[in-house]
Amino acid sequence: MSVEKYLKPEVINQIKRLDLRAQFVVKGFLQGLHASPYHGFSVEFSEHRKYSYGDDPAHIDWSLFAKTDKYYIKKFEAETNISGMLIMDSSESMGYTYQQELTKFDYSVCLAAALAYLMISQQDPVGLVTFQETISSSLPPRSKRNHLGNLLTILARLKPEGKTNLAHSLNQLAAMLRTRTLVMIFTDLLDNVDDVFNSIFRLRHNGHDVILFHVLDEAEVNFPFTGICELEDSETQEKLKVDASAFRADYLKEIQAFREDITLRCAKGSVDYVPLDTSMQFDRALVEYLHSRQARF
């Protein structure tokens, strides 16, 4: 099977168990790295760094030298471990899909599971927070293999329901975190953006790194509708009839402006922004995560 098939949402949808989905995505991603200009990139994110003058030769990994013909030092746990938290929006709006195999929520869960699998395989502790209007569940960061099972069990049982209040939930999170953390947020951002970014900037002010995975349905990005159609807000059930053909140009202009505004806000606050839609392969988001982690060394 080609690398691309490992990373396509429609293929992932055929795999029912979340742990196997996560392994499938990561396997394809790592294969893609080795077949790309990022060759060797994954090594940088294992427990090794390149040998430098003055390092103790006793710490050289000779088995890795035999494979790569390069000297790498085994890094100590304190050097390599970062603490990550996956922040999952499980509100009703995340359950939307127009014609994609995965809803926004399914897509986010698959991506979060893959990131958890990738981090724990590198012995990095990772935890989980789920929220609607408030935080509904939390799992502290751990790096043990059995912790991955606990985390995936929570993700697999989640159902998107209720309204969202991302800003309030992030303020709750800020009060919970005691050590510097890589905060990975999965949301469609259908909330008060000013309030949300005040909360994100609070996390940044407290010394945490933030990656914002902004997940929209493909239809929310491209607006493929025609004729008279009825749009419904999944969280408030408010309905609006529109002439989609006449409305489309204005909608596309607004969604582009919305994403550009988020991009500028994230740049201002040194937040990594990853705009995604449910038709996109998973590798883009995983590369963004690795770039963010690389910046921490």
Same domain, 121 and 149: yes
Same domain, 223 and 205: yes
More confident residue, 293 or 20: 20
Alpha-carbon gap, residue 199 to 173, rounded angstroms: 10
Tell me the average pLDDT across 47-62.
67
User: What is the number of alpha carbons within 13 Å of residue 244 lying toward its C-beta?
Assistant: 12
- Residue-averaged pLDDT of the chain: 85
With respect to residue 249, please indicate whether it lies within any of the assigned structural domains.
Answer: yes
Domain span including residue 166: 82-294
DSSP symbol at 136: E
Quickly count helices (H) and strands (E) in the chain: 13, 10
User: In degrees rounded to 5, what are phi and psi of residue 90?
Assistant: -115, 30
Residue 69: what pLDDT?
76
**Number of domains composing the chain:** 2
Tell me the average pLDDT across 70-75.
68
Alpha-carbon gap, residue 207 to 123, rounded angstroms: 22
Angle (deg, nearest 10), helices 104-121 and 283-294: 40
Q: Residue 166 belongs to a domain with what CATH number?
A: 3.40.50.410
Residue 76: what pLDDT?
47
